[in-house]
Amino acid sequence: MTTQTTTRPPASTVKVADDEIVIRISRPAPADGGGSAAASGVVRDSRADRLAFAARVDSFAGVVMWHRYAEIYSLLQEQCAVAEADPASDVFGRVYDPLCKVAASYAAAAGVRQCTAERFVERAVACAERIPAVGGLLRDGLIPDAWFARVVEQTSLVDDLGLLALIDAEIAYRLAHVGGLSAARVEAVVAAVVAEHDPDAVTLTREQVRAYKKVIVNPLNEGMSELIITASAEDVRLAKQTLDAVIAGVCPKDPRTKQVRRSDAAMARLNGTAFTCQCGSDDCAAELSAEQIGARCARVVLHVVVREETLDGTADTPAVLDGFGPISAEHVREIAGRSDVVARDLDLGDLLDQQAQPGNAYRPVGHARYGGAWLVRDVHVARLRRTGVCCRP
């Protein structure tokens, strides 16, 4: 197998034979500067080549990782064949199954822990059996191994192999054509495909994750500690937007960074103390009274786009939570049942007509009010009468 990139010549190549893998990576040389227009163009081209080299040269690690997975999978198959051929061995009488044996050998050879080795073997099995099309993207350098590992995790709950083959093919097609890939975009694409074809897998994931709501305190150094709160996606998004609304009232002279302000505002809210500006100026123009904070928090809106039949319970088409991505039908129906939710019917035809008019973009508005002295929030649920739209305020 030989693959060749589409960069400027001389291109980088990967040649795979039965007994070797030869990777040739062209390293661009810096161009000499000059005063002429032609020299300036050469310098620009050189800079572009050097930037592309720095950004994408690690893509060649994908083909190496793919072949590592292939070799481990081959060893696993051989171990399974040995176990099946032993008449004195049966599934229930084995001390260790073939996967654990191969993982133990790999752990010793690679110098890693057993659990890390088992995850590696499991990814090798996924690359060969469960999602080979996505594995092909890893081999071709379109996605790194870290993104492939996330796809393995997100598809691990799909039990129907026929359905998994469809999901694998669609994920591979979308990732190969969507462009501008990032870790977040890959996760969003995979989540959308899994939610569309196997809502049960998403629901199961949600049921498992819901049991892990928790608060963790990790001591750091220099008298600092870290507070980690695990909650539902909608509550976390609302909390984040609310903190931004609170800190928006400090005056321009406040010396803290935005992250420090958020931390101070969160601690003030949790501890029941006042959040104040730290500019130290006598003429501070901060707007941090309870009324001013409440007015800003009242404008916090979280948008959820969902089909009408999903809310009615006649379909299980996934919804989209703004700032998060696809959520299951069960999840969006839970959100719709909250007391702080407003549901507004939107017609797809009307939305498209409005979006086509310059200066008349659609801006959803929420009306329900929630909250106490500080926090007044909205969750807006838009019900679509037709499919195929993504409302983006």
Structure confidence at residue 366 (pLDDT): 33
Which residue's structure tokens are 């088992």?
118
Structure confidence at residue 182 (pLDDT): 83
> Are residues 317 and 310 in contact, defined by beta-carbon separation less than 8 angstroms?
yes
Structure confidence at residue 196 (pLDDT): 82
3-state secondary structure of 300: strand
The DSSP 8-state label assigned to residue 313 in this structure reads: T
Give the long-range contacts of residues 64-69, CB within 8 A, separation 24 or more: 64/21, 64/23, 65/138, 65/145, 65/148, 66/127, 66/135, 66/138, 66/139, 67/16, 67/21, 68/124, 69/123, 69/124, 69/127, 69/128, 69/135
Residues of the chain with pLDDT under 50: 1-10, 35, 356-358, 360-379, 382-393
3-state secondary structure of 174: helix
pLDDT tens-digit map of 20-33: 778 777 777 765 55
Structure confidence at residue 52 (pLDDT): 76
Structure confidence at residue 354 (pLDDT): 58
Structure confidence at residue 183 (pLDDT): 85
> Please, which residues bridge with residue 227 across strands?
217
